[in-house]
Amino acid sequence: MREPESDPTAASEDQECWLCSHLVQLFLDDEPKAGETVLLEDISAEGAGLAVKSHYPKGLRLTIGAAGFQARVVVVECQPRETDFRLDTRFTDGFRWMPSLWKPDHLFRPPAPARKAKGAAGGR
């Protein structure tokens, strides 16, 4: 019996996210020659966050490309902001990003969030 495939548009909460600021090309899978220049804002093993000029529907398949890097993604969410849209994507085809594979400009690993203490005295 085959196990059900996971939903590629489902968000993951436990991934380590790296901040960055790198211009990349975003291509529709069915129009690989007509790309849009967008800003890669963050990246993790499972996906990437981008600043884009227009709305992209959930589930749309795209390709992110830059010198030395190309990955197919699916749109997880696209939220309007004051002057642009925040596009959250998940890598497809079993791809997982790691810093040793490709480093976008201004790559920064923010400190891990502080763990919540158990109880007022730290839960001793």
Q: How far is CA 67 from CA 60, 64, 71, in A?
A: 23, 11, 12
pLDDT band at 29 (very low <50, low <70, confident <90, very high): confident
Residue 122 lies in a domain: no
CATH of the domain at 68: 2.40.10.220
Which of these, 58, 92, 63, lies nearest to 75 by C-alpha position?
58
Adjacent-strand bridge partners of 73: 62, 91
Residue 124 domain-assigned?
A: no
Tens-place pLDDT, residues 90-110: 999 999 999 999 999 999 998
List pLDDT tens digits, range 10-24.
Answer: 444 446 899 999 999
Question: How much is the pLDDT for 2?
Answer: 36
Question: Is 51 part of a structural domain of the chain?
Answer: yes
d(CA 103, CA 18): 10
With a cut of 70, say whether residue 118 has pLDDT above it. no
User: For residue 31, what are the domain limits?
Assistant: 17-91
What b-and-e string marks burial along 17-48, b requiring 16 or more CB atoms within 10 Å of the CB?
bbebebebbbbeeeeeeebeebbbbbbbbbbb
Residues 6+ apart with CB under 8 A from 123: 117
Residue 72 lies in a domain: yes
pLDDT for the residue 32: 65
Confidence band for 27, pLDDT divided at 50, 70 and 90: very high
Domain count, the chain: 1
- Top pLDDT among 7 and 57 is at 57
- Tokens, residue 94: 């079993």
For 34-85, the pLDDT digits (tens) are 789 999 999 999 999 999 999 999 999 999 999 999 999 999 999 999 999 9
Query: DSSP labels for 9-41?
Result: TS--SS--EEEEEEEEEEEETTEEEEEEEEEEE
